[in-house]
Structure 1
Amino acid sequence: MRPPASLPPRFGLDPARMRLPVSDEWPTIRDHLVGRVPLSAAEIDAMFAAGRFHDADGPLAVDAPYVSGGSVWFHRDLPDEAPVPFTVDVAHRDDDVLVADKPHFLATIPRGRHIRETALVRLRDEHGLPDLSPAHRLDRVTAGLVLFVVRRERRGAYQNLFRDRRVDKTYTAVTRYDPGLPTTTTVRSRIVKERGIVTAQEIPGEPNAATGIELLDHRDDELLGPIARYRLTPYTGRTHQLRLHLASLGVPILGDPFYPTVRDVPLDDFRTPLQLLAATLGWPDPDSGERRVVHSRRTLQAWEDPAGWLVGPVP
């Protein structure tokens, strides 16, 4: 059920919907909310007075009768967030999709401590696209291309492309250079990610993750020493797959706060970003089959400007 027209998106975010239980226990909606919402009765009354609770017909009065099985919409109070001081660019736009060229440190979608400072919320707000939704995601610390669906009725068609592995993706990464590694290889392993643990891990067993790894270039940098630039082709989409596979080869991605060891990096520390970029994205049009390919305009700073990467600011 879509939110009521009387309660439009705020900062690009749709209001939260609360379903009312099928029951005759409460005489008013307010009585139900006092026992359910983690706010004081005075705070809930203030929200009613400000017209912040709505049903399908508009704002609710504090004495509005309880509607068994009904719905109430409201905008949640947003947490304080560290502003991410980098823009999210548009690499491609048509009637169906918008491909964002995301900076490092910007989450793809609202989650946890990141709500307004996300690519989805910024793009909805900046481009007036209330129905925009992601067809896939990138880690907050990874930069590059993310495909968003513009129209609600087209979401399924594009999400199915990712589900059916009909989307081609390549990444670039900067690591230390190890001359003992092959210039081209495919890493296969079994990766698991447990809920509540920030890192994934490789365990013995049937592989469920595969990554093609190709050395593009290497050089001796006067600041960083021997470094290498790789093209990565994920054949599967496990959490942190690319980061784990390079770390397992002994060449973790420069700036990685998780692999091989977890480092505590404050959310407002935008120095030395993870040197991983979602560089290309290709997909067939769901209707015509016409192939489309988009290239990121971003670069990896440790390769292009090592001194700037080491001291900031991030471009």
Structure 2
Amino acid sequence: MTLSGTVPEGEYWAARAGDSPFAPGTLLPPGSALPHAVPAWTFPAVPDEEPIPFDYTVLYRDEHLLVVDKPHFLPTTANGRIQRETLQTRLRRDLGEQVTVLHRLDRLTAGVMLCSVDPTTRGRYQQLFASRRVFKRYEAHLSGPVADGEVRLPLLKRKGSRQVVVDTRGTETVTLVRNRGSFVELEPLTGFTHQLRVVANHLGAPILGDDTYPIDRGLNLRDFSSPLHLLARELAFNDPLSGEPRAFRSLRSLPDRIE
């Protein structure tokens, strides 16, 4: 087995793996003999992209974690349409290649996000999200009144469609809804694509600025005129390393509500 033309052209470096014969970060020359499949990482060519004119703010940093406030319109990670202008790419450019976002927010959603800066402890924090041990609280402006309560919906993401639908074949989701005067507080007890947006639409009061619910108005990545009125306000958990409670809040405001 060799590192050869069977992989895309470019430079590859050894990744962190317990059974790798190469130290992490070692450049793997083309034609290198490999005793078995060896994890590697590379920097693929990324085309120039028109800058997204909004940026993150650092809320907290220590030797394990980085907490940032993500703006509206900035994707969390790369996708088929945007590669360079993402939160993770900017964080790695500014703070180093070790930075990895630990969860996702929709491109149109702003708010607090947790990132890892230490690969040796990253898995402990990722497990918090996998086991649903992270408290998340969102704030939103809805297009109409809704009642307080618990909303249970089976949600299904259909292939080829931007919209998630309520379908008995889907995954059950749970969301708590609370009115807080000028805004609505949403607490997802599960995590599903567009969960809060679909819940609001199902209740008959879509989130203001939503380009997908109830009507998919098409994807325009350069239209910054109408932000989604949804903010990830708070994120809290018990630290898996120290056992201490940790809580972080976004300092952003919801977009101005235009009645």
- The one-character-per-residue Cα deviations of 1:262-313 (angstroms, maximum 9, x if unpaired) are 012421111111111000010111022110111100111133xx49xxxxxx
Aligned-residue RMSD, C-alpha? 2.5
Matched, 1:193 2:157: yes
2:99 to 113, 132, 137: 132
Q: Which amino acid aligns with 1:168?
A: F
Residue number in structure 2 paired with 1:250:
204
**Higher helix proportion (structure 1 or 2):** 1
Aligned residue-pair number? 246
* Distance in 1, Cα, partners of 2:67 & 2:41: 30
Partner residue of 2:74 out of 106, 111, 115:
106
Distance 2:49 2:84 in 1: 8
Q: Output the CA distance in 2 between the equivalents of 1:269 and 1:157.
A: 38
TM-superposed CA distance for 1:232, in Å, is: 0.3
Percent identity of paired positions between Structure 1 and Structure 2: 37
Question: Per-residue displacement from partner, 1:100-129 (whole Å, max 9, x unpaired)?
Answer: 1000111111221222211111111112x3
Listed as ranges, the matches of 1:41-56 within 5 Å are: 52-54=10-12
Q: Could you tell me how far 1:196 is from its partner in structure 2? A: 3.3
Q: How does 1:95-244 map to 2 (within 5 A)?
A: 95-127=63-95, 129-178=96-145, 181-182=146-147, 184-204=148-168, 208-218=172-182, 229-244=183-198
Task: State the TM-score, normalized to the length of structure 2.
Answer: 0.85
Tell me the CA shift for residue 81 of structure 1: 2.2
Local SS of the residue matching 2:149: strand
Q: Is the 8 A contact 2:139 2:184 kept in 1?
A: yes
In 1: Cα distance, 2:229 partner to 2:236 partner: 22
Q: String of CA shifts for 1:62-108, please: whole Å, max 9, x gaps.
A: xx647465768653221332311011111121221111100011111
Corresponding letter in the other structure for 1:288: S
Specify the code of the residue in structure 2 equivalent to 1:86.
Answer: F
Unaligned residue ranges in structure 1 (runs of 5+): 1-21, 38-43, 45-51, 219-228, 308-315
TM-score normalised by length of structure 1: 0.71
Match of 2:245 in 1: 291
Distance, in Å, in 2 between the alignment partners of 1:158 and 1:217 is: 34
**94 and 66 in structure 1: CA distance in 2 versus 1, 3 angstrom threshold:** closer
- The within-5 A match list for 1:33-72 is 37=8, 52-54=10-12, 58=27, 60=29, 65=31, 67=33
Q: Deviations over 1:16-61 (max 9, x none)?
A: xxxxxx48xxxx93xx35xx65xxxxxx7xxxxxxx535666485x
Against the structure 1 CA distance between its residues 284 and 54, is the aligned structure 2 distance closer, same or farther, given a 3 Å change threshold?
closer
More off after superposition, 64-73 vs 245-254: 64-73
Q: Distance in 1 between matches of 2:41 and 2:136?
A: 38
Aligned to 1:272: 226
